[in-house]
Structure 1
Amino acid sequence: MIEEEPPSSNQGQFAARNGTSSSLDLESVVQPLVLNPWDVVLCISGTIISCENAVVVLLIFHSPAFRAPTFLLIGSLATADLLAGLGLILHFAFVYFIPSEVVRLLTLGLLVTSFTASISSLLTVTIDRYLSLYNALTYYSKRTVTRTYIMLVLTWGGSICLGLLPIMGWNCLKEPSSCSIVKPLMKNHLVILSVSFFMIFAVMLQLYVQICKIICRHAHQIALQRHFLATSHYDTTRKGIATLALILGTFASCWLPFAIYCLLGDSSYPALYTYATLLPATYNSMINPVIYAFRNQEIQKVLCALCCGCFSSTSPFRSHSPSDV
């Protein structure tokens, strides 16, 4: 994903002294394998990401209780993050053990597809949360299920198209001057991905502002109906806003540095800058299961039952409020 300079070789001089061909020289000269510590860290992160999200995917898709639209979107997010983790592992394996331009493009396409699907899935989860509060009375209807499947098709369809671009020829292998900070992605391709991120982030920010307003309004109405004290109303509102701020703040702190550097950076810049901004972005896929899955009470119950060996796929769990997920 990030191009490294090949190690220097005395291959020509060795062949001239010994009168052997270059192919024989390649077989006789064994160069030590030098691992980039950044790639090792990315591989470790990919392993953790894969394990976490594999648990979520198995829980959601194994149990019929998790067929509600909310859990389908959570499952889509976990699947995207799982593929991102696997992509990081495969990138490390192919770069150091099976060097090939074709395989490199396939791995890069997988990473672009998975990370794009992860960010887009976060948007769909946010839309689902907003609609569950704005249209609470009509949320559990066939229209919600249809809308969920449409969002899933758009999310994965668009992500796959963006991931196929490098494989279909939109790469800088033949034009090094057009490379971005993530080789062999072209600069224009990375700009499209970065602009798409900022658009998604702006929509999520606006939706969470609206969610905060709805939470404050609902908390105020409940406080008036039940004659709560003003402090109780304030505590409830503050807790809801703090949760939403944590969700949006985590997403922004993970992805904003890399997205900004994609727009401002150049292929001539040191690879260290790319690694330093890309690594926090991968942490978002590591944190997503904790925020969107493991905090949910229904998932916690099924996970505890599974760990205790009394898992039942027909447990009558149901999420009554997608905004709680």
Structure 2
Amino acid sequence: MSVIMKQCRQCEFTTAMFFYNLSGRDLIVEEQHYRSVGFFIGVLLTGVSIIFLNGLVLTAIVINRRLHYPFYYLLGNLAVTDLCVGISYLVITCLSGVWTSTVSTSQWFFRQGLIDTSLMASLMNLMAIALERQQTIFTMQLHSKMTNQRIILLIVAVWIMAILIGLSPVMGWNCLCDLSSCSETLPLFSRSYVLTISILSLLIMFIVVILYTCICVYVWKKSRRMTEHTSRDQSKGTVVSLMNTVLLILGCFVLCWTPALLLLLLDGLHHVPQKLLVVESFILTLVACNSLVNPIIYTYRDQDVRTTFKCIFCCFCVAYQQRRSRPGGYDTVVMINEILMIVTLMSYF
């Protein structure tokens, strides 16, 4: 027992490099990927695009009163989670590769906990949106009958679960005191934790796929019954449009998440090939891309959101033109007045 306690004290003050060497990871080889110009530009563009697009969605939902409904609250929460994914993705990428050798265990736990919490919150929020859509479509309502209080409780529950899962390694579910159980993809995490996370995430993915499949089947059967009351072309066009949207959602969702979850599952089962560890950064980038396409997929067919986007861009273009036409420059008071004018204008939509 005293030997184990001594080992725990030693590991607590060891840098993360010790655990990477223990797992057989070659950080010099991985650094070649991180330092490549193409990968750096891709990471920068991906991170900035995630932050910009989700920030735009969040702004539109806040300033447009017509978007103050349960579905849009969930969409706004998805934008917040994906915004956190973009920020944490940039942080974890900038502190990867050979920079890992200078990171302490506490810094590594903070870095990894940030991205894990954000990704888990985004994944669970996608499931919450699927549940809301299924309930709304099955009851043939334009907006869900869920009250604002229930939506807030659902959002709070999503974040509490995500934070608990993301902080579990910090609270003790790690391999600092049991080096034989260390993961290979996440060297400071226990293999049992990695396995649990992969199974839980795969379960959430399965639920999302089942929910959207049920929505497609229900709408298809409903459209066949309604063909005698409406034109066949109109009914067929509605079903095809819905099918395309659902297939796009599921296709991007499964494509982005499956490689990472399979890698974690193999790692948890202690069957991960060493060659996959070299491309771990690209697999993480693929998961982050889901946070990039989420605001596009969930908003591009929504007329109210598109109209709000256009108004935001038009208002800022007008403000920019007025700034350029002023000979006296552009002081802070004028800028604040214009922002207040834009917000006031959007609140009446």
CA distance change for structure 1 residues 57 and 184 in 2, over 3 Å: closer, same or farther? farther
CA distance change for structure 1 residues 242 and 108 in 2, over 3 Å: closer, same or farther? same
- Pairwise CA RMSD: 2.8
Counterpart position of 1:314: 347
CA contact (8 A) 1:43 1:92 kept: no
Deviations 1:183-235 (A, max 9, x none): 32221112111111121122112211221122113323442113x13x54334
Structure 1 residue 71, shift from structure 2 partner? 0.7
Counterpart position of 2:82: 81
CA contact (8 A) 2:132 2:144 kept: no
Q: TM-score, normalised by structure 2?
A: 0.73
Counterpart position of 1:10: none
Q: Distance in 1 between matches of 2:105 and 2:256?
A: 29
**AA in 2 matched with 1:251:** F
Q: Distance in 1 between matches of 2:95 and 2:262?
A: 28
Counterpart position of 2:240: 238
Deviations 1:278-304 (A, max 9, x none): 322121111111001243211111111
- Aligned to 2:256, which of 232, 240, 254? 254
Counterpart position of 1:206: 210
Q: Distance in 2 between matches of 1:114 and 1:152?
A: 13
**AA in 2 matched with 1:308:** C
Counterpart position of 2:180: 177
Matched, 1:157 2:130: no
Counterpart position of 1:47: 48
**AA in 1 matched with 2:242:** G
CA contact (8 A) 1:94 1:100 kept: no
Counterpart position of 2:128: 124
Counterpart position of 1:189: 193
**AA in 2 matched with 1:219:** S
Higher helix share: 2
In structure 1, the gaps of 5 or more residues are 8-32, 317-325
Deviations 1:52-79 (A, max 9, x none): 2122222223444332111110011111
Matched, 1:67 2:63: no
The 10-residue stretch of structure 1 (119-128 or 295-304) with the greater mean CA deviation from structure 2:
295-304
Q: Distance in 1 between matches of 2:53 and 2:186?
A: 26
Counterpart position of 1:319: none
In structure 2, the gaps of 5 or more residues are 1-15, 319-341
Deviations 1:300-323 (A, max 9, x none): 11111111117423233xxxxxxx
How many residue pairs match? The answer is: 288
Structure 1 residue 171, shift from structure 2 partner? 2.4
- Shift >6 Å, 4+ stretches: none
CA distance change for structure 1 residues 209 and 296 in 2, over 3 Å: closer, same or farther? same
Q: For residue 274 of structure 2, give the secondary structure of its aligned residue in structure 1.
A: coil
Matched, 1:109 2:113: yes
Q: Distance in 2 between matches of 1:34 and 1:280?
A: 19
Q: Distance in 1 between matches of 2:61 and 2:147?
A: 19
Matched, 1:289 2:292: no
**AA in 2 matched with 1:90:** V
- Aligned to 1:146, which of 144, 149, 154? 149
Q: For residue 346 of structure 2, give the secondary structure of its aligned residue in structure 1.
A: coil
CA contact (8 A) 1:105 1:167 kept: yes
Q: For residue 140 of structure 2, give the secondary structure of its aligned residue in structure 1.
A: coil
CA distance change for structure 1 residues 47 and 171 in 2, over 3 Å: closer, same or farther? farther
Identical pairs, percent:
24
Structure 1 residue 148, shift from structure 2 partner? 1.9
CA contact (8 A) 2:195 2:265 kept: yes
Q: For residue 167 of structure 1, give the secondary structure of its aligned residue in structure 2.
A: coil
